[in-house]
């Protein structure tokens, strides 16, 4: 990543804008997501999912009902403000996703589903597409969401915990992917969202 996008040459740039555009690498946005998924960094990551996967966000600071709403305009403003000062951020995120997929194939050569958990305080505000017995639901999640592979840790983030099964292709990033990885303490997985079948735990 450093070589492909010259991230290690930021000090050689002749203007402050040029130096900032290289220093504001993909790591800045991962760290920003960890602090607040509704930040400018979060908007940039959600916008990458929207552009590459065709899944629009359902939430960014407020519920987004359609692309003509004020909420969508606010989200797009954050996404543009974040990406305008960063060199080739979409291409950097492309490479990060491809590297994640490469490492997942080494971790699990057979295409097994990952059992992941998400804690939330506002489960009733999600769009429920289908209800079935055994506390199972089909819900529409935001286009990029955080999960963990530890059920007990998920309870730290909400009074409702969902369990779901995620194919490797829907994993954008996971803790431990990079040396000295951020997000490591929460065993976090950043999942490309959309419609998921979930089960409410307990």
The domain limits of the chain are 7-106, 109-200
Give the residue with greater pLDDT, 16 vs 179: 179
Mean pLDDT of the chain: 88
pLDDT of residue 25: 83
pLDDT category of residue 133 using cuts at 50, 70 and 90: confident
Residue 103: which region, alpha, beta or left (left: phi > 0; alpha: psi -120 to 50)?
alpha
pLDDT of residue 2: 72
d(CA 16, CA 113): 45
Q: pTM for the full model?
A: 0.88
- The residues, ordered by sequence, that sit 6+ positions from 141 with a Cβ below 8 Å of its Cβ are 58, 126, 191, 193, 194, 195, 196
Tell whether the model's pLDDT for residue 7 goes beyond 80.
Answer: no
d(CA 141, CA 131): 15
Give the residue with greater pLDDT, 182 vs 146: 146
Tell whether the model's pLDDT for residue 11 goes beyond 70.
Answer: no
Tell whether the model's pLDDT for residue 46 goes beyond 80.
Answer: yes
- Mean pLDDT (whole number) for 59-68: 96
**Pairing of the two strands 127-132 and 136-148:** antiparallel
Question: Which CA distances in Å does 10 have to 32, 40, 181?
Answer: 20, 22, 22
């Amino acid at each position: 990543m450093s070589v492909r996008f010259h991230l290690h040459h930021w000090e050689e740039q002749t203007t402050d804008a040029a130096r900032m555009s290289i220093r504001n690498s993909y790591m800045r946005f991962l760290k920003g997501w960890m602090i607040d998924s509704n930040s400018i960094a979060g908007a940039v990551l959600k916008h990458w999912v929207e552009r590459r996967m065709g899944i629009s966000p359902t939430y960014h600071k407020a519920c987004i009902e359609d692309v003509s709403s004020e909420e969508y305009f606010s989200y797009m403003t954050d996404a543009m403000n974040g990406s305008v000062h960063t060199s080739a951020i979409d291409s950097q995120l492309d490479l990060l996703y491809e590297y994640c997929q490469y490492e997942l194939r080494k971790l699990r050569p057979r295409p097994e589903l990952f059992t992941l958990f998400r804690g939330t305080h506002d489960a009733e505000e999600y769009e429920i597409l289908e209800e079935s017995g055994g506390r199972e639901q089909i819900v529409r999640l935001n286009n990029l969401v955080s999960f963990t592979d530890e059920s007990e840790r998920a309870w730290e983030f909400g009074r409702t915990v969902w369990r779901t099964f995620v194919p490797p292709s829907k994993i954008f990033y996971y803790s431990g992917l990079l040396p000295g990885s951020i997000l490591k303490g929460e065993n976090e997985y950043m999942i490309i969202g959309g419609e998921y079948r979930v089960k409410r735990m307990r």
